[in-house]
Amino acid sequence: MVTIKDIAVKLGIAVSTVSKGLNGASDISEELRQMIIDTAIEMGYRSKKMKKEEHKKLCIFIENMEYDDSDQFGYEIILGFKKSALRDNWEVSLLPASSELQSQEKYDTYLLKHGFSGAFLLGFSLEDEWMHHLKKTKMPTVLLDNQISRNSNVCYIGTDNQEGIELAIEHLYKLGHRRIAFLNGSPNSMVTDQRHQAYLDSMAHHKLEVTRDLFAFGYYVSDCAKYHVPDFLAAGATAILCGSDLIAQGVIKECRARGFRVPEDISVVGCDDIPLAQKLDPPLTTIRQDREALGMCAYISLISLNKNVSVSKTLLRPKLIKRDSTAKCTPYQVTDELLQEARKLHKGKILGRGLE
Amino acid sequence: MVTIKDIAVKLGIAVSTVSKGLNGASDISEELRQMIIDTAIEMGYRSKKMKKEEHKKLCIFIENMEYDDSDQFGYEIILGFKKSALRDNWEVSLLPASSELQSQEKYDTYLLKHGFSGAFLLGFSLEDEWMHHLKKTKMPTVLLDNQISRNSNVCYIGTDNQEGIELAIEHLYKLGHRRIAFLNGSPNSMVTDQRHQAYLDSMAHHKLEVTRDLFAFGYYVSDCAKYHVPDFLAAGATAILCGSDLIAQGVIKECRARGFRVPEDISVVGCDDIPLAQKLDPPLTTIRQDREALGMCAYISLISLNKNVSVSKTLLRPKLIKRDSTAKCTPYQVTDELLQEARKLHKGKILGRGLE
């Protein structure tokens, strides 16, 4: 059991100074206060206040993810988490984790200072500063769609991307599609990598050829479709699998702009099944992520970590939701016009073309 | 909501006959009874009795795994499961799943007939008949160390084998070992495959050569060591990683029988950390699986499936427990005697040599 005295001895300062640092007194320097708190945390110190609150407060940190209304990806995840947590009498705070906040305060320090027993992180990317802190965090932490190796305080939660992509490719294969393109999400993310590998494996499984003009890495916005659809059409793709429903929305628009009908000429498959998917014209076939269940399981995993059960990974099943954006394959003639547009695209900026 | 009448219509028999079949009346044939029950299950029928008991009974099926006393692998897993389940007022039955039972009755039929809401399966191998039933089961099922793809009623639970092997190889590498052998468990199991791949990846990561005489597939018993240790010694291995603590026990014995001391000449690492590991001479360095937590998480996953939350996979962190069976590397001269013994082994039966 670490005491204030232990911290004082370690830092070579007076017990009263440590006490001031931990209680936020204003007559010591901010640097010293920070050092005291960091040391206290490293040594595993918990104040009475922290202990008392330890079983009461959890935090959801969100970054680069929309969650305000029910149409947005994060909404139901947060709902699922909160529902489960509140049932067990936890108080849940939802906080945006701006890069300012992340650079101002260490992850563990922030949680301990505010009396949180653990946190669920959504939308973080490898560039986020706190992602580095997670390698050594002592706080129970559940991370959506990202994995931290070797730290038993952090659990990865997500949907089984491999199975999702397999289901989509199999569905398209059964409809007769052989030239299947994949407009993936942002590069440099674990999910994107997993899905890319699953696409390659699944195509190989069905003995379908993957040429370089059949896949690309975009961003999670509709607009990215315009940089890639010309390539796919010039490559004779009859089906386009997309890294999100928003990307699929853009893909449908770009296909139409070039005179291709969906699904009569081109089949399109999304990922996620956000509420938008069924409202699209045509309603979108997509790989569903059960977002409320993700939130619920994130809570369960966090509580397990809190009880020293080192859950490393919790994956949920994806589900293929068949709607009207996919249909039997009708191959088409690749016209000179399509080829020229694709060539022109390559001559210009390679905006958003991602990994080459 | 499926009724008895629906079943009767589907089978083209009288409602009273269906009722007899479901209630185990003796005046209809066993074949007809079986057909009625199977149809009822396929159609998703639940009798009042089943519904009433639905939230009360869970089952643990165990096969090919020792669990009777605290020294055995299955003991704490079952303990962890039962503890969690009993806290929530579930009744838990522990049943051996003999191959007779498996061939007598379909998996779903068995569970429904006995009023179980779900089951946790331990020790099943790909050859077990019920493993085929699991591909289509409608019953919430958690499977230790095995994965069923595409069925959202089945969840895989286990320890992250990749991280475990990585931790062990890194530990040995830091001690100066370069010739690291791996005596894996039984071939044709998912865990064995995962660990083999992790061994290859981890050796490559450290730029260590893997020659064919450095790895082998055995069985989960001490005795299998004698078929492989001569090879490893003839290959100049200074460290031997083992697929279980029992295998490690055998490896230590076989090294000693050839004049090699553990850990002075050969370092040995086990897997699991069953209670035996710390009682061995020397106490065994091993990759711990937190078995009680596995049981607890199996229960949590089963309850999630029961609530239609399709958990696909739950993995726990392994932990490297450093004891006295590993030490700094001391390379040795491979003698003619060692080479001859290994050669002799190959001339004889290739008992237990596994995948070639």
Q: Calculate the average pLDDT of chain B.
A: 91
Closest residue, chain B, to A312 (C-alpha) = B316
pLDDT of A348: 52
Residues in chain A with CB shorter than 8 Å from the CB of B313 are: 160, 313-315
Q: Kindly provide the ipTM of the predicted complex, given to two decimals.
A: 0.80
- Element spanning A17, H or E: helix A15-23
Which residues on adjacent β-strands are paired with residue A314?
A157, B314
> Is the pLDDT reported for residue B184 higher than 90?
yes
How close B258 gets to chain A, by Cα (Å)? 37
Closest residue, chain B, to A157 (C-alpha) = B314
- Test mutation, A166, A171, A300, chain B, max B CBs within 10 A: A300
Among A150, A166, A293, whose Cβ lies nearest the Cβ of B310? A293
Q: A248 φ, ψ to 5°?
A: -60, -40
Residues in chain A with CB shorter than 8 Å from the CB of B319 are: 152, 310
Question: How crowded is residue B98: how many other Cβ atoms within 10 Å of its Cβ?
Answer: 11
> Is the pLDDT reported for residue B86 higher than 80?
yes
pLDDT of A353: 42
Mean pLDDT confidence for B44-48: 72
Residues in chain B with CB shorter than 8 Å from the CB of A315 are: 311-314
- What's the pTM? 0.83
Helices B73-87 and B291-306: crossing angle, nearest 10°? 40
Closest residue, chain B, to A320 (C-alpha) = B150
- Test mutation, B315, B320, B321, chain A, max A CBs within 10 A: B315
How close B148 gets to chain A, by Cα (Å)? 11
Query: CA separation (Å) from A65 to A61, A73, A74, A221?
Result: 10, 7, 6, 12
Which residues on adjacent β-strands are paired with residue A201?
none
Tokens of B263: 């850990």
Residues in chain A with CB shorter than 8 Å from the CB of B296 are: 304, 309
Chain A residues near any Cβ of chain B (below 8 Å): 149-150, 152, 160, 163, 166-167, 290, 293, 296-297, 300, 304, 309-317, 319
> Is the pLDDT reported for residue B334 higher than 80?
yes
Residues in chain B with CB shorter than 8 Å from the CB of A317 are: 152, 310-312
How close B301 gets to chain A, by Cα (Å)? 9
Residues in chain B with CB shorter than 8 Å from the CB of A311 are: 297, 314-317
Of the candidate ranges A304-313, B31-40, B66-75, B226-235, the one whose mean pLDDT is the lowest: B31-40
B235 three-class SS: coil
**A–B CB contacts, 8 A cutoff, strictly below:** 70
pLDDT of B22: 82
Among B152, B163, B310, whose Cβ lies nearest the Cβ of A150? B163
Tokens of B299: 């229960």
- The domain spans of chain A are 1-45, 161-289+320-347
Question: How crowded is residue B39: how many other Cβ atoms within 10 Å of its Cβ?
Answer: 19
Residue in this structure with the two tokens 């708190």, named with its chain if needed:
A37
Residues in chain B with CB shorter than 8 Å from the CB of A169 are: none
Kindly determine whether residue B312 and residue A152, on different chains, have CB atoms separated by under 8 Å: no
Among A149, A160, A166, whose Cβ lies nearest the Cβ of B313? A160
Residues B1-45, CATH architecture:
Orthogonal Bundle (1.10)
A206 closest CA partner among A163, A177, A186, A184: A177
10-residue mean pLDDT series, chain A (356 residues): 88 89 80 81 70 74 89 93 90 94 93 93 91 95 95 96 97 98 91 96 98 93 93 96 97 97 97 96 97 96 93 97 97 91 72 40
Kindly determine whether residue B290 and residue A310, on different chains, have CB atoms separated by under 8 Å: yes
Tokens of A354: 């991602």
Kindly determine whether residue B315 and residue A317, on different chains, have CB atoms separated by under 8 Å: no
How close B316 gets to chain A, by Cα (Å)? 4
> Is the pLDDT reported for residue B347 higher than 70?
no
Mean pLDDT confidence for B203-231: 94
How close B128 gets to chain A, by Cα (Å)? 24
Closest residue, chain A, to B167 (C-alpha) = A150
* CATH class name, domain B161-289+320-347: alpha beta
Kindly determine whether residue A310 and residue B316, on different chains, have CB atoms separated by under 8 Å: yes
pLDDT of B118: 96
Kindly determine whether residue A316 and residue B296, on different chains, have CB atoms separated by under 8 Å: no
Residues in chain B with CB shorter than 8 Å from the CB of A143 are: none
- Test mutation, B163, B165, B311, B320, chain A, max A CBs within 10 A: B311
pLDDT of B48: 67
How close B236 gets to chain A, by Cα (Å)? 30
Among A311, A315, A316, whose Cβ lies nearest the Cβ of B297? A311
pLDDT of B185: 93
> Is the pLDDT reported for residue B192 higher than 90?
yes
Question: Sheet harboring B180-184: ordered strands across?
Answer: B215-217, B180-184, B239-242, B267-272, B285-288, B319-321
Closest residue, chain A, to B308 (C-alpha) = A293
Query: CA separation (Å) from B129 to B39, B97, B98, B125?
Result: 20, 10, 10, 9
CB B17 within 8 A of CB B8: yes
**Do the first three CATH levels of B1-45 and B161-289+320-347 match, i.e. the same topology?**
no
Q: Sorting pLDDT into bands at 50, 70 and 90, what band is B355?
A: very low
- Element spanning A191, H or E: helix A190-205
CB A222 within 8 A of CB A253: yes
Query: CA separation (Å) from B131 to A58, B114, B134, B144, B312?
Result: 40, 19, 5, 12, 16
